[in-house]
Structure 1
Amino acid sequence: MNYLCLAGPTASGKTAASLAIAQALAERGRPVEIVSVDSALVYRGMDIGTAKPGAAERAAVPHHLIDIIEPSEAYSAARFVGDAERLIAEIGARGALPLLVGGTMLYFKALFEGLDAMPAADRAVRAALEAQCERDGLHALYRELQRVDPVTAKRLQPGDQQRIQRALEVYRVSGQPISSFHTEKPARELPPLISLEPADRAWLHQRIEARFHQMLEDGLVDEVRRLEARGDLDADMPSMRCVGYRQTWEALVEDDLSELPERGIAATRQLAKRQITWLRGMPQRQVIACDAPDALARAVECALRLVA
C-alpha cells in the first residue's frame, strides 16, 4: 500500500482523526506525513475560514500542500494530482506513510481515476456566465446546457450552479460539450479510504453552525477585509469562491453583515451534503460514524487494520 486516505464532509473531525492516526502509527514505528486534499488550504492568508490546522498541529506531524500559493493564483485538480503523486513517492522514499486528508472530493476522484484532458478555465467566459446567471437566473443557464449538452444536463441537478457554469464554460471555449471529454479509463487499484460520515445529519449541522459562529468570533470578517484590501482579488477568483469567504465578501460589498451567519451556515451545509454524496460513490471507503462517542478510537483502529 502506497498511501492511506481519510476523507469526510466539512466539520466531521478530519484534523483530529488524522493526528490521532498519525500518533498511533508513529508509536508502532510507522511515521506519517499528512498530504492535504483541500482546495482552500493551499492559499496563504486564508486561515480562519478554512479551519486550517494550527502551528502546533502542523509541528506534531509534517503537513504538505498547505500555504503553497497566493489567493490571486489558481490551483486545479490536475495540479493537485501532480503534487500528490510526487509527494507520495517522496514520503514513501523517506520510509513514512503518506496520509491524504481532506474534503475536496474532486481531488480524491482525480487521483483515484485519472483526469480527462479538459480545456483550461477562461476567466472572461466565466465572468460572462456569472453575469448572465445574475441577470437571467440559473434556470436559464440550465436550459442552455440542456440544448448544447443534454448528456451533462441530465446528469446534473438544476441547482448545481458551479458545475452547470463549468459545463457551459467548456462548451463556449471549445465548441464541444463537456461530456465529449469524459473517456473510459483503465481500472486502477483503489487505495484504502477511511470515510468520516455522520449517522445523524443533525449532529453535523450543529457542528457546522457552531464552527461558523466560532470563525466569526475568531475574526473571519477582518480576514476577508484584509484579503479585499490587497487589491489583487475579486469575487470571481477560485479563492474567494470558497465557502465562507464568498458569503463574507458579498456581505462586505453589501455593507450588511446581519445575514452573514445564516448564509454562511446554509452554504456550508450544502457543501457537506455534496461531499457526502461524492463519498457514497467511492466503493472502497470504510465508513466511521463521526458522531459516535468513540469515533476517534474507531478511526485509529480502522487505520491500523488497513496499514497492517
Structure 2
Amino acid sequence: MSSIPVIFLTGPTAVGKTNLAISLAEKLDVGLVSVDASQVYRGLDIGTGKPPAEILDKHPHELINIREPSDVFSAGEFCRESIQSIRKIHEQKKIPLLVGGTMFYFAALTNGLGRNVFADQSFRLKIQAEAELVGWEAMYKRLYNLAPDIASKIHPNDRQRIQRGLEVHRYSKNPAFEFKTSATSVIPIKKNVIRLGLTVADRSALHARIEERVDSMLDAGLIIEVQSILARGVNPELPSLKSLGYRQVCQYLRGELDYKSMRMRMIVATRQFAKRQYTWMRNTPNTVWFNSDDIHVSQHVMRYLQAMLT
C-alpha cells in the first residue's frame, strides 16, 4: 500500500466530526471514507446523521449508501471495502480521511478481527423467526447446551450476542464453512496512521447536544423515515433497524412505547453509546485530542496536520 498516510478522525456522536471533516476536505487534498455501521444503508438518513445530499455531492464519502436495509453488513465487509477505498484514494494521490464513530471498525481495520464468521442472513433470520416462537430465553438455553463456553460469556437477555453465539457455533462445527482470518483485512501501514480525536471539555455539554440532536431527528421526520423502510418489507429485527434510534422508533410504532418514552430512550441510549465511544478512544494509543468547543478547532487541526504531513 502507498506510503501516503491515512488520517483517522474519531469522536463520540454529536461532537461535530462531519463538520470538521468537511472543513478539512476544503483545505486538504483528501478522500473521505465513512466509518459508520449504519450510514452504509440506503434510506437510513435522518437517524444516522448522514450528511445531506448537497454535501455528499460536493464532498463524496466512500461507504455511504452501499447496502440496502435488508442486507447484513459485517465488520469483515467493512475492512475489505474500506481497504479498497483507501487504495483507490491513494491511487489518486490523495490522503484517505476516515471519519466516523464506529470505534470497533477502526480497531478491526488496524488490529484485525481474529476469527471472523461469515454472516449468513438466511440462518440469522431463521434464528430470529424461531426466537419469536419460543422466546430468547429458550434460545439462550439452546446455546448453553450447544456451547456452554460461548454462552457463559453472554447475558441471557442479550439477544444480539445470543444470535451471534449460535452463528459462531454453527460455523465452527460445520466443516463446509471455515473461519476467515483477518490478515488481509488490516491496514499494513499502522505506523503511517494519523489519529485525531474530537471531544468536548464538558460532558454535560455533549449530553445537551445529544438531546438537541434527537429532537432535530424527530422533527426532521425520523418516524416517517422508519415507516417508509418498514413499508418496503424490511424485517425490524435486522441490524439496520436495530441501530440507535431506529430500534426505539420501531418499538414506538409497535405500540410498545409512547412518544415521550421513545424520545427519552433514544436520548439515554445515545448517551450510553457516546460513553462507550469514549472508552474506545481512551484505550486507543497515539490519538491527538482536539476540543470541538473551540471555535478555532479546524485551524488547530489543520496546523497539526500540516506539521505531520511535511
After TM superposition, is the score higher than 0.5? yes
Conserved 8 A contact 2:124-2:167: no
Counterpart residue number, 2:63 = 65
Instruction: Give the C-alpha shift of residue 173 in structure 1.
Output: 4.8
Equivalent of 1:104 in 96, 102, 105: 102
Any idea what the Cα deviations from partners look like across 1:113-147, whole Å, max 9, x if unmatched?
Answer: 12333222341465279659965499989998994
Cα separation, 1, equivalents of 2:195 and 2:39: 20
Alignment of 1:83-98 (within 5 A): 83-98=81-96
Give, in angstroms, the shift of residue 293 of structure 1: 3.9
- For residue 305 of structure 2, what is the aligned residue in structure 1? 303
Assess if the C-alpha contact under 8 Å between 1:32 and 1:97 holds in 2.
yes
Q: Percent identity?
A: 38
**Corresponding residue number in structure 2 for 1:216:** 218
1:24 to 13, 24, 27: 27
- 1:127-178 CA-to-partner distances (Å, cap 9, x unmatched) read 279659965499989998994248x83xx899876456534542355359xx
User: What is the RMSD computed on CA atoms of the aligned residues?
Assistant: 3.3
- 1:234 partnered with 2:232: no
Instruction: Give 1:15's match in structure 2, choosing from 13, 18, 21.
Output: 18
Q: What is the one-letter code of the residue matched to 1:82?
A: R
Cα offset for 1:188?
Answer: 5.6
Match of 2:168 in 1: 170
2:250 corresponds to 1:249: yes
Name the CA distance, whole Å, in 2 between partners of 1:137 and 1:264. Answer: 28
Could you tell me how far apart the structure 1 residues matched to 2:156 and 2:295 are? 38
Task: Tell me, in whole angstroms, the C-alpha distance in 2 between the residues paired with 1:157 and 1:228.
Answer: 29
**Residues 163-214 of structure 1 deviation map (CA, whole Å, 9 limit, x = unaligned):** 56534542355359xxxx8999899642111011222221111111100000
Query: For 2:278, which of 276, 279, 292 is the aligned residue?
Result: 276
Q: Matched residues in 2 for 1:47 and 1:226: separation? A: 12
| Cα distance in 2 for residues equivalent to 1:94 and 1:291 | 34
Task: Check whether the contact 1:141–1:165 (CA below 8 A) recurs between aligned residues.
Answer: no
State how far apart, in whole Å, the 1-side matches of 2:220 and 2:142 are.
Answer: 38
Summarize the Cα distance change of 1:76–1:136 in structure 2 as closer, same or farther, 3 Å threshold. closer
Q: Residues 184 and 42 (structure 1 numbering): CA distance in 2 closer, same or farther, change over 3 Å?
A: closer
* SS of structure 1 residue aligned to 2:254: helix
User: Conserved in 2, the CA contact under 8 Å of 1:194 and 1:303?
Assistant: no
2-structure distance, mates of 1:134, 1:44: 31
1:47-97 Cα distance to aligned partner (Å, 9 max, x none): 111111112322332321111111111111111111111111111111211
Aligned positions, number: 295
Cα distance change, pair 5–276 in 1 and its aligned pair in 2 (3 A):
same
- Asked if structure 2 preserves the Cα contact closer than 8 Å seen for 1:133 and 1:141, the reply is no
C-alpha contact 1:247 1:263 (8 A) present in aligned 2: yes
Q: Secondary structure at the match of 1:9?
A: coil
Q: Which moved more, 1:191-200 or 1:205-214?
A: 191-200
Equivalent position of 2:206 in the other structure:
204
Summarize the Cα distance change of 1:271–1:228 in structure 2 as closer, same or farther, 3 Å threshold: same
> Residues 118 and 291 from structure 1, CA distance in 2 versus in 1: closer, same or farther, beyond 3 angstroms?
same
Give the one of 35, 38, 47 matched to 1:37.
35
Classify the secondary structure of the residue corresponding to 1:243. Answer: coil
- With over 3 angstroms needed to count, the CA separation of the structure-2 counterparts of 1:135 and 1:126, relative to structure 1, is closer
CA 1:6/1:187 → structure 2, altered by over 3 Å: closer, same or farther? closer
Q: Which runs of 5+ in 2 are unaligned?
A: none
The answer as to whether partners of 1:32 and 1:61 remain within 8 angstroms in 2 is no
In structure 2, give the amino acid aligned to 1:207.
Answer: R
1:218-245 Cα offsets, whole Å, 9 max, x none, are: 00000001011111x1121011011001
Long gaps (5+) in structure 1 = 26-30
CA 56–135 in structure 1, closer or farther in 2 if over 3 Å, else same: closer
TM-score after normalising by structure 2: 0.82
- Secondary structure in 2 aligned to 1:99? strand
Please give the TM-score of this superposition, normalised by the length of structure 1.
0.82
- Whether the aligned pair in 2 keeps the contact of 1:145 and 1:164 (CA below 8 Å) is no
